[in-house]
């Protein structure tokens, strides 16, 4: 992507709702996630994951989604706006899906998150708009699934994140491991 990587918008919700509200800023808390967000915590907070193992570590503290997906979805006939797919941070100019596991994103002046995996598109997308789940899935040249619904991360360093903040990308050392659903 050609533009400077940046934060397009930030979102949070105290409710376990599908969409999140756009905010002027959000505060990321190391080891927990987005302050005041229903999915913040050291252990899993997504209801389906809590039902499986409430003591599992929360590898989904922050959901990041590339703004370019909204353009793609609009072209396909879906009226979807930042925050409506449940992301905390909408990015621009970052190939989130192409980054390896363990990539660190420096957001604004202080916050650092580490990518843990892909968001697996689920049936909630179709409840939001019929056909949306299929629109966030594709197949690559080898026939493997491409999940386009964003990436998940943990917070390594606390900080405030706002729309317009720059994003600096630090790739992990060693052999790159592709992101897998978490």
121 found inside a domain = yes
pLDDT tens figures, 125-137 = 999 999 999 999 9
pLDDT tens figures, 139-170 = 999 999 999 999 999 999 999 999 999 999 99
pLDDT at 1: 44
CA atoms within 13 A on the CB side of 156: 13
pTM of the model: 0.96
169 found inside a domain = no
47 found inside a domain = yes
Q: What is the CATH number of the domain that holds 139?
A: 2.40.33.20
pLDDT tens figures, 26-81 = 999 999 999 999 999 999 998 888 889 999 999 999 999 999 999 999 999 999 99
pLDDT tens figures, 77-111 = 999 999 999 999 999 999 999 999 999 999 999 99
Helix, strand counts (H, E) of the chain: 4, 13
Q: Is the pLDDT of residue 2 over 70?
A: no
Sign of CA dihedral 92, 94, 95, 96: negative
**Range of the structural domain that residue 36 is part of:** 6-164
116 found inside a domain = yes
Q: Is the pLDDT of residue 15 over 70?
A: yes
59 found inside a domain = yes
How many domains does the chain fold into?
1
């Amino acid at each position: 992507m050609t533009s400077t990587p940046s934060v397009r918008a930030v979102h949070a919700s105290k409710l376990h709702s599908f969409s999140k509200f756009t905010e002027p800023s959000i505060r990321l808390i190391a080891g927990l996630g987005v302050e005041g967000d229903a999915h913040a915590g050291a252990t899993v907070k997504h209801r389906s994951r809590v039902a499986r193992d409430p003591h599992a570590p929360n590898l989904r503290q922050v959901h990041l989604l590339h703004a370019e997906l909204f353009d793609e979805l609009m072209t396909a006939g879906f009226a979807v706006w930042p925050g409506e797919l449940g992301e905390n941070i909408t990015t621009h100019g970052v190939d989130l899906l192409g980054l390896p596991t363990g990539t660190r994103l420096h957001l604004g002046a202080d916050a650092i998150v580490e990518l843990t995996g892909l968001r697996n598109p689920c049936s909630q997308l179709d409840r939001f708009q019929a056909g949306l789940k299929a629109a966030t899935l594709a197949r690559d040249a080898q026939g493997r699934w491409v999940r386009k619904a964003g990436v998940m991360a943990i917070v390594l360093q606390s900080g405030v994140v706002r729309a317009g903040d720059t994003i600096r990308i630090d790739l992990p050392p060693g052999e790159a491991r592709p992101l897998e659903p978490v």
